[in-house]
Structure 1
Amino acid sequence: MKYLHRLSGITTAFCLMIILFITSVEAVIYWTPGYFEQEYTKYNVLDRLPPMTMEDLLDVTSQMMDYLKGRRQDLHVITTMGGEQREFFNEREIAHMEDVQALFLKAIFIRRVCLGLSAVLLLFMAFTRAWMKRVLWPSLCAGTGLFFGAVTVLALVISANFTKYFVLFHHIFFTNDLWILNPDTDMLINIVPEGFFMDTAGRIALLFGFLSLLLFGICLALTMKHMKKERG
């Protein structure tokens, strides 16, 4: 039973870390006020597009982000460009964003599964109070440390050649080449250049790192407190 409790604790930690990572992604791209406007200004995105206003571009972006969360049925977004009404995204971009939406919704589903599994494992450990403090916090510490260590190594590897691993990411998660866009015909690649993805990845890494260290610190503090109480 002792080893089962430890496995449960480590599994809970892994689930919590996955939850924190997916939430960090959501927080950066959905909850950061003015983030897209800031990035569009930084990379002079409007200069890459047919004449349009920042207000219209942000409206397009808002509808695109709603689509990724399943709040819109399609990505046929009408806006004003070059003085005329037209669809912002073409068929190739829409097809690619359907794949992106599927990936995003899967991530949200995984987060829900992790939340449910964490709750079940914590309840299981709570019913065996003899091991609750002795195993739970050390196991959470171990699981959090292992997961964070692995992610840190992966982040360092990716940061050494972001472009290479950005392309590899697309090869792994997409089964077609719709993600290969042409800046002369496709608006999507112009509004989110590689620099945008680098900035976003950096923000996600910082937020995830902070939340992970906070979780680890809480687990470590409670572990040490319990050990001190047992010795005393």
Structure 2
Amino acid sequence: MQKIFGLVAAMAMIVVMLITSFEIAIYSDYGWYQKEYEKYQVLDDLEMEMQDVMDVTEEMMAYLRGDRKNLEVKTVIAGEEGMFFNEREKLHMEDVQGLFLGGIQIRRVAFVIFAAAVLLILFQKGNLREILPQMYGWAVGLFLGVAAVFGGLVAIDFNKYFVLFHEIFFNNDLWLLDPATDLLIRMLPEGFFFDMVIRIGVIFIGSLLILWGAGALWRRGRAKKKS
């Protein structure tokens, strides 16, 4: 039972780290967005200045975090002041906000599960220093295997799985935007999302391995004390 609780704790912690990796990748560095806009030359498609595009980006991200009530964002497009988001884009971004905030809620639940599993191990007088690193190592191995398969599939045909993601997580077709009428898809082309997936993956796998190394050292310290 202690090992089962340890595995539950490890899986819950990995979920926490996955969602946190999304948050770090998306919110930690707006300079990354500017580099992406330059890479895909979105200023030409938008007919906007970089500073205006960055201002729209920051307002959009504030909305997704729930720090802004709406997406009534004024900016300068082709030399004229106007609203960046149209009604279809606003409705779609409302759905996206639901995913963002839902992810934060899932992280909270996962952390509670982690804490409860740890307390149950302690209640059964289990050795956390032995159980948690071992079960975490098993869980990481499983996740890395799944990640390798998923990464391979995405690399082969990103568009296919990009579409599949939207079909799974959205119950409408609002995500099907038209470059002729919708500025959002011009600002965030498909290549941007591919790069974001890579960014999230690097952060997530890196954090998994760092924590795995820390756990191994923690467990090894116990072994040295025994000897």
Q: TM-score normalised to the size of structure 2?
A: 0.93
Contact 1:75 1:94 in 2 (8 A): yes
Please report how far the alpha carbon of residue 149 of structure 1 lies from its aligned counterpart in structure 2 after TM superposition: 2.2
Q: Determine helix, strand or coil for the equivalent of 1:34.
A: helix
Verify: 1:66 aligned to 2:62, yes or no: yes
- Pick from 36, 39, 44: which aligns with 2:41? 44
Deviations 1:50-103 (A, max 9, x none): x32111111111000000011111111111112222110111111111110001
Aligned residue for 2:71?
A: 75
Deviations 1:96-119 (A, max 9, x none): 111100011101110111112112
Segment drifting more, 115-124 vs 216-225: 216-225
Q: Determine helix, strand or coil for the equivalent of 2:202.
A: helix
Paired amino acid for 1:164: K
Contact 2:10 2:132 in 1 (8 A): no
Verify: 1:92 aligned to 2:91, yes or no: no
Contact 1:29 1:35 in 2 (8 A): no
Verify: 1:34 aligned to 2:37, yes or no: no
Contact 1:10 1:139 in 2 (8 A): yes
Distance in 2, Cα, partners of 1:86 & 1:215: 47
Contact 2:133 2:212 in 1 (8 A): no
Aligned residue for 2:11?
A: 14
- Pick from 163, 172, 177: which aligns with 1:167? 163
Contact 2:60 2:71 in 1 (8 A): yes
- Pick from 180, 183, 201: which aligns with 1:184? 180
Aligned residue for 2:219?
A: 223
**Residue ranges of structure 1 left out of the alignment (5+ in a row):** none
Verify: 1:114 aligned to 2:113, yes or no: no
Please report how far the alpha carbon of residue 45 of structure 1 lies from its aligned counterpart in structure 2 after TM superposition: 0.6
Please report how far the alpha carbon of residue 227 of structure 1 lies from its aligned counterpart in structure 2 after TM superposition: 4.6
Paired amino acid for 1:60: V
Paired amino acid for 1:18: V
Segment drifting more, 207-216 vs 178-187: 207-216
Distance in 2, Cα, partners of 1:164 & 1:175: 18
Q: Determine helix, strand or coil for the equivalent of 2:182.
A: coil
Q: What RMSD in Å do the two structures reach over aligned CA positions? A: 1.6
Distance in 2, Cα, partners of 1:130 & 1:167: 46
Contact 1:79 1:85 in 2 (8 A): yes
Please report how far the alpha carbon of residue 216 of structure 1 lies from its aligned counterpart in structure 2 after TM superposition: 1.8
Please report how far the alpha carbon of residue 33 of structure 1 lies from its aligned counterpart in structure 2 after TM superposition: 4.4
Q: Identity rate of aligned residues, in percent?
A: 43
Please report how far the alpha carbon of residue 228 of structure 1 lies from its aligned counterpart in structure 2 after TM superposition: 5.5
Distance in 2, Cα, partners of 1:153 & 1:217: 23
Please report how far the alpha carbon of residue 158 of structure 1 lies from its aligned counterpart in structure 2 after TM superposition: 1.7
Runs of 4+ residues deviating >4 angstroms: 227-230
Q: TM-score normalised to the size of structure 1?
A: 0.91
Contact 1:10 1:144 in 2 (8 A): no
Aligned residue for 1:214?
A: 210
Aligned residue for 2:150?
A: 154
Deviations 1:8-52 (A, max 9, x none): 111111111111111111111210241111111111111001x32
**Residue ranges of structure 2 left out of the alignment (5+ in a row):** none
Please report how far the alpha carbon of residue 151 of structure 1 lies from its aligned counterpart in structure 2 after TM superposition: 2.3
Contact 1:93 1:178 in 2 (8 A): yes
Distance in 2, Cα, partners of 1:114 & 1:66: 24
